[in-house]
Structure 1
Amino acid sequence: MGLLLVAGNCLSQTFQYDTTSARQRYAVTRLSEALKQDRSANVYTIQLITDTSAYALESFSVNNSNHSVSITGGSDRALIYGCLSVVEDLRNGIALENIQPKKEKAFLAFRAIKYDLPWDTYRHSYALSLHDTTCRDTAYWKAFLDMMAENRFNALTLWNLHPYTFLIKPKNFPEASPWNDDEMKAWQTLFHAIMRMAHERAIDTYIIPFNIFVTPEFAKAHNVAMDNLQHDYFVRGDTSAIIKQYTRECVTQMLEEYPELTGMGLTLGEGMAEMTPQQREDWMKETIIEGMRQANRKSKLIHRIPFSSTTGSLGITSIETEKLTRNAIKQEAAMGFMEMPVWADLKFNWSHAHSTTKLIKVHGGKLYDTYFKPEPEVYKVTWTARNEDFFCLRWGVPSFVREHILNNSQSWCGGYTIGSETYIPAKDYFTKDKNDLPWHYAFERQWLFYKLWGRLLYNPLQDDAIFNAEFTRRYGVQGKQLPEASSLAGSTALRIASDFDCGWDFTLYTEGMMALDAATKNVSYISVERLINQPPLDTDYVSIKDYVQQVQAGQSFDKAKTTPPQLAAMLERDCNKALQLVQNISAKNNKALMYEVADIKTWSYLGLHFAAKIKGGIALQTYRTTGDEKYKRDAVMHLQNALKHWDAIISITRPLYNDMPLVHLSQQGGKENAENFYKTFHWQMLRADVLNDVQMAENIHK
């Protein structure tokens, strides 16, 4: 155990720890930086102790007595969490001498972030490519990885269509590289830095390619995959022998050149059209799995559960495909070159996990019980909780995240992956006036989102005190009202997504009150007509159309169901209370607080807008079935109120937020289609659509 003497402002502390461990050095550095602000007068000895016999891998304790703080854990990762726990206390104004004993352990083993890189992106959009410069900066990655460690995320998954040539120059296929020597060196320097910093923070890293893709340079050199030089994602799979060899060798070389890279992920969908589930699985075995086997070290695997049981890229789920996949994972694990367990990943409620905590569907449809009956021995199921619903507005509902985790963490569950495919949390392209702001990067705006998911995945029984304390630390006395207001207002997002059935990414964009129109294939404002006819995602919700039909038929409702009037009442209750909680907060001298309050107000008015639309939809549908003019007048009144609430949203957000590039609006676009490639969003742009609801109701005839 090495010794290090660190001097603080009013004291000196002696740290005792393993100086040969990069992770313990990181933990001590973070703690010593925080201690510079401590005003204690006592001299302290701070010990970092590894005890694998008494502590689980990610569990730790903090004890404080006789001017000595001991942080004990089952691994270096646990010691980092223990040190950062003390850092959190210090930041919250607790002096070192007053640090209370504590003991914590991990609830779920896999706590990951899904991060789509801005290079060779899954979709082609300026909303993604605009992050290029930020994501090439190692200072950004240091900040992001620090945030992950503080929130106890322990895995970073990096995605793009064809990642290999950003990390290596293939030895046997140098013609595949699009870079000159200087460019290649710059890419490798960046990725080595990311892997090294992640390793120091005890964060596992995974590279996850989509399939099947090669570089345009490789395609042209070997006359293969010539029908997909632009890298569209739903295309025929080219299974040429040379592509198999190239992919396999890329995997092996990458794992050997990046010893700090934890492992690989695989997906069985994109770039694999016209292939059966068995053919897709066979291709993976011959390429990624075999490439992992040939590497001179062990690595870990994330095996995405296939979402198509057909030869189409957007097929449906089936029991047969589940059986095939389970057997394939078992065979892969038996080969002996992978660290266990394999993470078998599924999308919770497809691309919209921020809806209901009940599992309604996965990507492709229904989930059967094949993956967990009988309970697996070599893999754990993990949930991807995709967020394609709010990028601009801050969000945080602790009770929802806690319930989500506790309801869906059976013994066969290994953890969660949190993130988006249409949003990269790097450059802040939202904020108009960036002067005097405490944040620099986009993820820092959504600090509560990451803190909630990370800390509750580590310990879902953690109460809200740590989140409340963070609000107070950031905003003082005025911050005490914000946790409740944020939670009440944030429920708007969950209720919209629960009430409006959705699937893949563009089928819903909650904060914009937008959804995919199947007829036009465009993402547009959810009109009152669509709201009336769209079935809910949550099976406990009743649609407007069904509600009116049952009322007219004199039928009663199951007490467990949420009817449209009840939903509207819940929205009004919570959103009005949220507005009351923040109405007297003065943020004139604190821009960060101003944005927090503005977002709470925006969610609240969006909830009131949604409630008024529900009421308008009920009245409109009732008028159609009865012909009673009273209901037509009611519909107009409620939709006029919805417009007023929308105008309130515009008045709040227009001075604060830019017109925002949005992938949802450019799904048909690419650089060759600049109109879509650069499409933007702001609530003001939809006002005419909101007004159209009012005008339609005024002019409707039975």
Structure 2
Amino acid sequence: MKRRYIPYWLGFVVFFLTLSRAVQAQATGGKSQLTIAFDTTSKPIQFGVSQLEKALNKSSQGVRKVPISLDSKGRGILVSVQPAQSEVFIREEGYRISYQNNSLLITAVDAAGAMYGVLDVAEQIQMGKSWKTLTPKAVNPHFTVRALKVNLPWSSYRLGPAMDVHKDVCRDLAYWQRMLDQMAENRFNVLSLWNVHPFAYMVKPTNFPEANAFPPNEMADWKQFWTALFRMAKERGIEPYIVNWNIAVSPEFAKAYGVKERNDTSAVVKRYTREVVTQIINEYPDLAGIGITLADWMSNFSGTNASLPEMTPKDREDWIEETVVAGIKAANRPVKLLHRSVLSADPGEMRRVINNAHLPDTTLVEIKFNWSHGHSTPVLALTHDSHSGKRDDGYWNPMPSNYRIQWMIRNEDFFILRWGQPDFIRKHIAQNTAPYVNGYFVGSEGYIPAKDYSHVTSAHRTWAYAFEKQWLFYQLWGRLLYDPATPDAVFEASFASRYGLKSGKPMLEAFSAASQMPLRLASFYGSTWDYTLYSEGFLSPFSAGKGAQDTVSSFISINELIDHSTLDPTYLSIKEYVDQIVAKKKIPTGKMTPVALADLLDADSKTVLQRVQQLRSSASPTLACELADLEAWAYLSRYFADKLRAAVALQTYRLSQDKSQQQKAITYLNQCLDHWRKVSEITASHYHEVPYTEGYLSKENAFKDSQRFLWSNYQSQVERDIVLARE
């Protein structure tokens, strides 16, 4: 028998392999390594795997990442992008989790779906589950458009310190990276960036170089900023859009070419707009879409400014067709179009332009749900596309073939206190899903979630940016728009993980109850545009035309509450309710009375304070900050409840002259004063005065007490209600 001769060099190979494994084991703390095989060239999947790796490492599981190949075998996690399987239909951005040959398979038809599947597995591991025993499932997105609306502080639509304070933060790519990370984790897939005229900050127009005054080095900085921002979005499965107001040019353009900044329909402005749209599409290959809004200055619809030319709906749409649409079609690649529905729009004319455009992708048509106060009732009571603000179904009837509707859920109602109500969002989606609807936009006009300028400096302030403080708001909207069946357990686990709690259920219960207050107020106190209601402040700086407006303060007085009509058609106003009670009429079935609403608010408050008491003893300083917000909402709920009861009693007295009703109103209003003092005390421990309408409103029509906001500023108005009741 021949003796086999082993080459001497093979001994060195074995030695170095053994040494390498020993070093690797030492580097991972001796953990066994789990193989994750995936397309390592895909940025969205890379992002998802990075989150999965963190979750596994936290559970003491080492990770080995390898490129996927056709013959990948062995025990581990396999992330695969492939055509949909016939037995389980997976759409774009959907995914399937299953097991095969002792491996966990995450299957999708595109990179975004694979990323979401990996994030799902990471989340389940964070919740204490094992990757080996997950429940197989297939998930598809409920909506294809899940968008955030973020206003930019330069060339901003709203003016003043509340915008200016964000300029440095919004130029910092570190902010946008964190924002985009949370968007991907929460399944948002569209980032829409809004300002009056973005183009001058994006390019030096070829035929109009004086459109901006940036020197070459500064223009290069802007170009680098936008390029990096759009690329980061794309790498996370997010489509970036820019949205502007029409008709507008930069101040530099207006001066250089002798035109007006607003509403100048001259040939030079038309040519510039068309060409700059084309140039921006060509210079920014990762820009996914351009949005256009038929803004206030395209028509003198209010009849208050005779200098504005009157543009018919056809004129406005012709302008869009000859500038924005023409610019898109002249570009060297396609982008998507977002056509907003606002006061100056007309569904018939809009359909004509979209039909004539023959764009390859479905056009987005965004409609404000209940105008600027989408956080109200899930009933579509009014939109923003007619002078009356009433519903106009011409946008979806007949069913469009080349565009779909997205509901804009504006938030002009709470900028400071944290908010989160999952059942409201689920109910909203259930009631407003239709064949013509493919998504939602969520965001504010008067608030940018960038610098947190409301919270006092403190050691427990662990968040860098305002959206991180409001993490639950974004998690709820994003996750539920993707999958309304996402259980509360997911959100409860987020609380438990964030604060080291045994269970996050009490926190979610507390938030669900606390967050009803602004929804109930906005449903009861009918409003329209931004500054007609600010729910967390109990303010109405401008009239919505739904009742007598106070001439003393922006604070909603007892008289305003009595006189005002409701937004939700199932709610009875104070006057309607008292009229029926005095006339001894039966309250119609299905109607929400002010007294019943007050009882609900009290029940909410009780739930919140019970949960806060339960959690306070073991709360970390940052958790205590969240608990303080919950307490503030609880006492705002009590304030609103007792003010409703006071309003019913006072109106009853005014009709019947029953003095006991007047005294009852005064008693309730004294209780309101106690509640407001409590709100002021709680909020003063964490927040300082902030700009609200400052810098935006003119001297002629502004309440001075709305310019800067803090709850304690309005105690005198709470006391004034008592005087009004006595008089």
Report the TM-score, using the length of structure 1 for normalisation. Answer: 0.91
Distance verdict in 2 for CA 1:300–1:454, change over 3 Å? same
1:487 aligns with 2:512: yes
Whether contact under 8 Å (2:566, 2:573) holds in the other structure is yes
Q: What CA distance in whole angstroms lies between the structure 2 residues aligned with 1:523 and 1:134?
A: 33
Distance verdict in 2 for CA 1:306–1:493, change over 3 Å? closer
Give the stretch that moved more between structures: 194-203 or 437-446.
437-446
Q: What CA distance in whole angstroms lies between the structure 2 residues aligned with 1:186 and 1:522?
A: 48
Q: What CA distance in whole angstroms lies between the structure 1 residues aligned with 2:705 and 2:524?
A: 30
Q: What CA distance in whole angstroms lies between the structure 2 residues aligned with 1:582 and 1:30?
A: 31
Q: What CA distance in whole angstroms lies between the structure 1 residues aligned with 2:62 and 2:473?
A: 37
Distance verdict in 2 for CA 1:523–1:289, change over 3 Å? farther
Letter paired with 1:490: S
Secondary structure in structure 2 of the residue aligned to 1:524: coil
Distance verdict in 2 for CA 1:71–1:669, change over 3 Å? farther
Match of 1:645 in 2: 675
Match of 1:139 in 2: 174
Aligned with 2:298 (options 268, 272, 276): 272
Aligned with 1:636 (options 666, 678, 699): 666
Q: What CA distance in whole angstroms lies between the structure 1 residues aligned with 2:213 and 2:244?
A: 17
Letter paired with 1:466: V
Distance verdict in 2 for CA 1:521–1:406, change over 3 Å? farther
Structure 2 residue runs without a partner (length 5+): 1-23, 65-74, 300-309, 544-548
Question: After superposition, what is the alpha-carbon deviation per residue over 1:115-165, rounded to whole angstroms, capped at 9, x for unaligned?
Answer: 101111101110111011111111110100000000100001011000011
Give the stretch that moved more between structures: 282-291 or 20-29.
20-29
Give the stretch that moved more between structures: 460-469 or 104-113.
460-469
Whether contact under 8 Å (1:38, 1:96) holds in the other structure is no
| Bigger Rg, which one | 2
1:687 aligns with 2:712: no
Q: What CA distance in whole angstroms lies between the structure 2 residues aligned with 1:551 and 1:681?
A: 38
What does residue range 603-614 of structure 1 map to in structure 2 within 5 Å? 603-614=633-644
Alpha-carbon offset, residue 374 of structure 1: 2.4
Distance verdict in 2 for CA 1:552–1:492, change over 3 Å? same
Secondary structure in structure 2 of the residue aligned to 1:208: strand
Distance verdict in 2 for CA 1:355–1:377, change over 3 Å? same
Secondary structure in structure 2 of the residue aligned to 1:267: strand
Question: After superposition, what is the alpha-carbon deviation per residue over 1:56-84, rounded to whole angstroms, capped at 9, x for unaligned?
Answer: 11110223466522211111000110111
Whether contact under 8 Å (1:587, 1:594) holds in the other structure is no
Aligned with 1:79 (options 114, 118, 123): 114
Letter paired with 1:500: Y
Q: What CA distance in whole angstroms lies between the structure 2 residues aligned with 1:323 and 1:532?
A: 40
Whether contact under 8 Å (1:298, 1:339) holds in the other structure is yes
What does residue range 563-602 of structure 1 map to in structure 2 within 5 Å? 563-586=593-616, 590-602=620-632
Whether contact under 8 Å (1:255, 1:292) holds in the other structure is yes
Aligned with 1:525 (options 543, 549, 555): 555
Alpha-carbon offset, residue 574 of structure 1: 1.7
Alpha-carbon offset, residue 17 of structure 1: 2.0
Match of 1:501 in 2: 526
Aligned residues: 669
Match of 2:268 in 1: 242
Alpha-carbon offset, residue 666 of structure 1: 4.4
Q: What CA distance in whole angstroms lies between the structure 2 residues aligned with 1:627 and 1:202?
A: 65
Distance verdict in 2 for CA 1:142–1:41, change over 3 Å? closer
Distance verdict in 2 for CA 1:396–1:380, change over 3 Å? same
Structure 1 residue runs without a partner (length 5+): 229-235, 310-320
Whether contact under 8 Å (1:60, 1:73) holds in the other structure is yes
Alpha-carbon offset, residue 685 of structure 1: 0.4
Report the TM-score, using the length of structure 2 for normalisation. Answer: 0.88
1:281 aligns with 2:343: no
Secondary structure in structure 1 of the residue aligned to 2:568: coil
What does residue range 283-322 of structure 1 map to in structure 2 within 5 Å? 283-308=319-344, 321-322=346-347
Letter paired with 2:479: R
Match of 2:454 in 1: 430
Whether contact under 8 Å (2:34, 2:62) holds in the other structure is no
Whether contact under 8 Å (1:247, 1:288) holds in the other structure is yes
Give the stretch that moved more between structures: 474-483 or 132-141.
474-483
Question: After superposition, what is the alpha-carbon deviation per residue over 1:367-398, rounded to whole angstroms, capped at 9, x for unaligned?
Answer: 23322222211111111010000010111111
Letter paired with 1:378: N
Alpha-carbon offset, residue 15 of structure 1: 2.9
Alpha-carbon offset, residue 669 of structure 1: 5.2
Match of 1:105 in 2: 140
Match of 1:312 in 2: none
1:450 aligns with 2:452: no
Match of 1:384 in 2: 408
Q: What CA distance in whole angstroms lies between the structure 2 residues aligned with 1:448 and 1:370?
A: 35
Distance verdict in 2 for CA 1:20–1:507, change over 3 Å? same
Secondary structure in structure 2 of the residue aligned to 1:271: helix
Match of 1:47 in 2: 78
Whether contact under 8 Å (1:506, 1:523) holds in the other structure is no
Distance verdict in 2 for CA 1:42–1:270, change over 3 Å? closer
Q: What CA distance in whole angstroms lies between the structure 1 residues aligned with 2:609 and 2:597?
A: 18
Match of 1:89 in 2: 124
Letter paired with 1:52: P
Whether contact under 8 Å (1:568, 1:615) holds in the other structure is yes
Q: What CA distance in whole angstroms lies between the structure 1 residues aligned with 2:137 and 2:536?
A: 39
Q: What CA distance in whole angstroms lies between the structure 2 residues aligned with 1:645 and 1:590?
A: 26
Q: What CA distance in whole angstroms lies between the structure 1 residues aligned with 2:291 and 2:223?
A: 20
1:352 aligns with 2:366: no
Distance verdict in 2 for CA 1:299–1:521, change over 3 Å? farther
Q: What CA distance in whole angstroms lies between the structure 2 residues aligned with 1:521 and 1:402?
A: 39
Aligned with 1:403 (options 414, 423, 427): 427
Aligned with 1:667 (options 692, 696, 700): 696
Q: What CA distance in whole angstroms lies between the structure 2 residues aligned with 1:521 and 1:304?
A: 34
Secondary structure in structure 2 of the residue aligned to 1:515: coil
What does residue range 207-286 of structure 1 map to in structure 2 within 5 Å? 207-225=242-260, 228=261, 237-273=263-299, 274-286=310-322
Whether contact under 8 Å (2:56, 2:63) holds in the other structure is no
Aligned with 1:155 (options 164, 186, 190): 190
Give the stretch that moved more between structures: 509-518 or 428-437.
428-437
Whether contact under 8 Å (1:125, 1:677) holds in the other structure is no
Alpha-carbon offset, residue 35 of structure 1: 2.5
Q: What CA distance in whole angstroms lies between the structure 1 residues aligned with 2:141 and 2:103?
A: 25
Secondary structure in structure 1 of the residue aligned to 2:393: coil
Give the stretch that moved more between structures: 253-262 or 478-487.
478-487
Q: What CA distance in whole angstroms lies between the structure 2 residues aligned with 1:532 and 1:35?
A: 57
**Aligned Cα RMSD in Å?**
2.3
What does residue range 25-64 of structure 1 map to in structure 2 within 5 Å? 25-40=46-61, 45-54=76-85, 55-64=90-99
Aligned with 1:128 (options 123, 138, 163): 163
Q: What CA distance in whole angstroms lies between the structure 2 residues aligned with 1:676 and 1:496?
A: 23
Residue identity over aligned pairs, in percent, reads 41
Secondary structure in structure 1 of the residue aligned to 2:352: helix
Aligned with 2:418 (options 391, 394, 416): 394
Question: After superposition, what is the alpha-carbon deviation per residue over 1:422-454, rounded to whole angstroms, capped at 9, x for unaligned?
Answer: 100001112113324331110011111111111
